[in-house]
Amino acid sequence: MKEIKCSVIQDLLPLYVDEVVSNDTKTLVNEHLQVCEDCKKEYEQMKGTLYVPIENKATLFSQLNKRWNRKKWLLVFGSVLTTTLLGFALFSFIFHYAKPIPYTADLFVIEEMEDGTLVSNYLGESHAGTHGTHPLAVEIDGEIKNISLIYYDETIANSPTSNFLREDKRIGSEQFILPDSQNVDAVYYGEFDLEKVIKEEQTWEELLQQMTLIWER
């Protein structure tokens, strides 16, 4: 046994410390370490430094664990975010996606005040918004007329028959004064996009055909 060179033992030490040697080798190294101070010192040192990786293993494990946790959290955060976005989209759809309320005589009544001002009375439960124009001089059947265009829009939450939230506790009609309406000859109801007319994508005639004449002086 004494014939084994220290260099051979020291070559084996890392494996010995890691406990990945055969029992024979283990016994061999054990026996040598009991008689050789040099190799024992080497062994103690190696044990000292090689114990660190064992702690590192724990660290590595906790890092992996943390990483996994972060992944999990990202997943949770991601699904929360998705839910929030979906909720927001639904919210937007319910409260902001507006479309024109079709004209019906029982919902919209134009009333002329004593001074000639026109007031639009809305008789529905609720609505989202009101769109109106200042008087526009338009040639209709060869005659220049001052017309006002108007329409109301609704969302799912706010519509003539909505009872979605019942925030609108208004009793009776809601009034909207048509701007500069004393000189207005006619009021048309319906969705309009004046930009189209200005850009000549649509003629006045085409636009007014889509709308409903709801009041005439």
| Interacting residue ranges for Zn ion, rule: CB under 5 A | 6, 36, 38-39
Closest CB to Zn ion among residues 14, 129 = 14
What minimum distance in Å lies between the beta carbon of 28 and Zn ion? 11
Nearest distance in Å: CB 35, Zn ion:
8
Q: Which residues contact 203 (CB under 8 A, 6 or more apart)?
A: 197
The candidate with the shortest Cα–Cα distance to 189, out of 91, 112, 88, 109, is: 109
Three-class secondary structure of residue 22 per DSSP: coil
Give the nearest distance from C-beta 6 to Zn ion in angstroms: 3
d(CA 105, CA 127): 16
Q: Which is nearer to Zn ion, 34 or 209 (CB)?
A: 34
**Least distance to Zn ion, CB of residue 42, Å:** 8
Our CB check for Zn ion shows the closer of 32 and 127 to be 32
Distance CA 42, CA 10 (A): 7
Q: Which is nearer to Zn ion, 22 or 34 (CB)?
A: 34
Q: Smallest distance, Å, CB 20 to Zn ion?
A: 20
CB–CB of 99/143 below 8 Å?
no
Which CB, 27 or 92, lies closer to Zn ion? 27
Residue 173: which of 132, 113, 104, 125 has the closest Cα? 125
Kindly state the smallest distance separating residue 1's Cβ from Zn ion, in Å.
11
**d(C-alpha 207, C-alpha 202), whole Å:** 7
Q: 36 vs 109, which CB is nearer to Zn ion?
A: 36
Q: Provide DSSP, 127-196.
A: -SEEEE---EEEEETTEEEEEEEEEEEE-SSSSTT--SS------S-EEEEPTTGGG--EEEES---HHH
Q: At what angle do helices 23-35 and 37-95 cross, to 10 degrees?
A: 130
- Per DSSP, 101 falls in state P
